């Protein structure tokens, strides 16, 4: 049963992390093409108001995606630990029970999102000129929520077993289809952002369906027998117990992002368009960090399940090194080419200048962003459910207070929005590192310097 899986409990740490992360990175970049294609095509072919309408929905759709996908991530962590312990029976049961939960949760939140879209947008102070278009976009995304959730569930399971390549192929295909449909529906048929939303939903359906069929036919862990297809209350509780804090972490971040969006909205459509463009760009910047975090989580989960704590520690340190190297490159790119990159989304000179300055500000803080993801990968891999929720609360507090303090009380205005984002990353990164230091390293390693673990035999298992 190992032909399409990777056992990370032996072998070179850096090689495992990089080889696992690269296909996932390519896949995540292609997944971001969904949003990028919508934004670029809508911004270029329809206008900056339409781009603002798409951007005004970002924090809301992220909220519903986060509430669903955290459950899948929790199931993935448990599956990786069972896989590391060579418990094939419970790997299959985890796949089944996570799948049951992932059918129910998106149906609930998709319905809520569809019904409440206009009310939420009004609560956020969305400019009236773009409110109807934004509401329609959210409703289409709510319909597609089940497809996004199913795709992310399957990929979480495959990655937990060390297979980051298989989901990539179908994601590339669906991304190409998404871009093609965007051009057809938005440009040739003149359907505006509704066309972009429809294209995204269709593409998400293709990715989900293809990945499910492939996993069933190719990966032996998905060839379930009748005895495997059973609801196990204790296992479902473990999945929910780990997944809900992850969901809440991202949900709290999404809610706080909605508060930031309200502040952005108060400055008018030019700032909304600039913030939308920079947010889309930084979604791409997040992808290498996200895939590195996922790779470290899988590596940590398997080795934690095998009680090889020294390898968990090694993965953390090597992950930090990889993150720093990438960060140096990205800071240089944003400082030198931020304006040119922003101009891909919109031709308005005022929007481009504001977006370029915003990228120069936030890029200074990328090292803190990278730290968040590296530490999160380790803690998620070892099943630290408390951290996910705690870190989300910290980030919410920062997002609720710092933007208001900087933009209003310190008088920085719109540019303060981007500065506040960077400061929140610092706050979240520091608290994440403190959690890793106190929760994991003190129990499993002799500490000589903060964050520098000495590889010794683990004294106990959490």
Query: 10 Å Cβ neighbour count for 444?
Result: 23
Per-residue 3-state assignment (H helix, E strand, C coil) for 104-156: HHHHHHHHHHHHHHHHHHHHCCCCCCCHHHHHHHHHHHHHCHHHHHHHHHHHH
Using CB atoms within 10 Å of the CB of residue 190, give its burial: 0 to 12 exposed, 13 to 18 middle, 19+ buried.
Answer: exposed
Q: Is the pLDDT of residue 132 over 60?
A: yes
CB burial of 33-58 (b: ≥16 within 10 Å; e: otherwise) equals bbbbbbbbbbbbbbbbbbbbbbbbbb
Q: 305 CB contacts (<8 Å, ≥6 apart)?
A: 80, 81, 82, 83, 84, 85
Mean predicted confidence (pLDDT) in 4-30: 79
pLDDT (tens digit per residue) in 5-14: 677 888 888 8
Cβ-contact 151, 195 below 8 angstroms: no
Q: What is the pLDDT of residue 111?
A: 93
- Looking at residue 336, what is its pLDDT? 92
Residue with tokens 């790119």: 333
> pTM for the complete prediction?
0.65
pLDDT score, position 452 = 36
- The arithmetic mean of pLDDT across residues 36-51, rounded, is 74
* Listed range (165-179, 265-279, 290-304, 309-323) with the worst mean pLDDT: 165-179
Q: Check pLDDT > 70 for residue 462.
A: no
Q: DSSP state, 284? A: H
What is residue 35's predicted lDDT score, i.e. its pLDDT?
A: 62
Q: What is the pLDDT of residue 322?
A: 93
pLDDT band at 327 (very low <50, low <70, confident <90, very high): very high
% residues pLDDT > 70 (the chain): 90
pLDDT tens figures, 407-435: 877 778 888 889 998 999 999 888 888 88
At 460, is the pLDDT very low, low, confident or very high (cuts 50, 70, 90)? very low
> Residues 222-227: what's their mean pLDDT?
84
| Helices marked H in 382-414 | 385-404
Residue 360's alpha-carbon distances to 329, 334, 409, in angstroms, are 13, 6, 23
Residue tagged 């599956």 (tokens): 79
Question: Looking at 65-79, 272-286, 299-313, 378-392, which range is the least confident one?
Answer: 378-392
What's the DSSP call for residue 437? I
With 70 as the cut, is the pLDDT of residue 446 above it?
no
The dihedral sign for the CA sequence 404, 405, 408, 409: positive
pLDDT of residue 290 exceeding 60: yes
- CA distances for 311 relative to 21, 80, 83, 85, 124, angstroms: 17, 15, 16, 15, 46
Tell me if 299 sits within 8 A of 13, measured CB to CB: yes
pLDDT higher than 80, residue 257:
no
d(CA 370, CA 367): 5
Task: Return the DSSP state at 440.
Answer: I
Closest CA to 136 of 155, 110, 109, 114: 114
């Amino acid at each position: 049963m190992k032909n399409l899986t990777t056992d990370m409990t032996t072998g070179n740490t850096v090689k495992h992390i990089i080889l696992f992360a690269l296909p996932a990175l390519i896949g995540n970049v292609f997944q971001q093409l969904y949003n990028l294609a919508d934004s670029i095509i809508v911004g270029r072919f329809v206008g900056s108001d339409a781009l603002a309408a798409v951007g005004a929905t970002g924090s809301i759709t992220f909220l519903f995606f986060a509430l669903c996908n955290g459950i899948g991530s929790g199931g993935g962590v448990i599956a990786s630990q069972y896989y590391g312990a060579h418990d094939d029976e419970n790997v299959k049961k985890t796949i089944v029970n996570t799948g049951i939960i992932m059918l129910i949760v998106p149906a609930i939140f998709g319905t809520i999102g569809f019904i409440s879209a206009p009310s939420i947008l009004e609560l956020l102070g969305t400019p009236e000129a773009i409110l109807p278009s934004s509401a329609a976009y959210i409703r289409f995304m709510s319909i597609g929520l089940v497809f996004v959730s199913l795709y992310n569930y399957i990929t979480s399971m495959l990655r937990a077993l060390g297979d980051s390549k298989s989901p990539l192929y179908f994601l590339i295909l669906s991304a190409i289809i998404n871009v093609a449909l965007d051009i057809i529906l938005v440009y040739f048929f003149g359907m505006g952002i509704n066309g972009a939303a429809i294209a995204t939903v269709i593409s998400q359906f293709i990715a989900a369906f293809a990945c499910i069929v492939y996993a069933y036919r190719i990966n032996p862990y998905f060839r379930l027998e009748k005895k495997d297809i059973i609801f196990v209350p204790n296992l479902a509780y473990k999945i929910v117990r780990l997944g809900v804090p992850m969901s809440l972490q991202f949900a709290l971040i999404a809610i706080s992002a909605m508060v930031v969006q309200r502040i952005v909205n108060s400055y008018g459509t030019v700032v909304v368009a600039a913030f939308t463009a920079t947010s889309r760009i930084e979604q791409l910047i997040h992808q290498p960090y996200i895939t590195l975090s996922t790779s470290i989580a899988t590596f940590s989960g398997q080795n934690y399940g095998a009680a090889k704590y020294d390898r968990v520690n090694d993965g953390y340190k090597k992950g930090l090194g990889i993150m720093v190297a990438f960060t140096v490159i990205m800071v240089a790119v944003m400082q030198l080419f931020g304006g040119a990159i922003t101009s891909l989304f919109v031709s308005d000179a005022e929007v481009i200048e504001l977006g370029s300055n915003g990228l120069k500000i936030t890029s200074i803080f990328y090292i803190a962003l990278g730290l968040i993801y590296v530490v999160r990968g380790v803690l998620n891999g070892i099943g630290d459910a408390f951290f996910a929720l705690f870190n989300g609360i910290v980030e919410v507090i920062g997002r609720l207070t710092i933007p208001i303090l900087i933009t209003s009380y310190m008088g920085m205005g719109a540019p303060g929005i981007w500065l506040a984002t960077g400061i929140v990353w610092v706050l979240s990164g520091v608290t994440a590192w403190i959690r890793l230091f106190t929760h994991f390293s003190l129990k499993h390693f002799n500490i000589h310097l903060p964050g520098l673990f000495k590889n010794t035999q683990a004294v106990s298992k959490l």
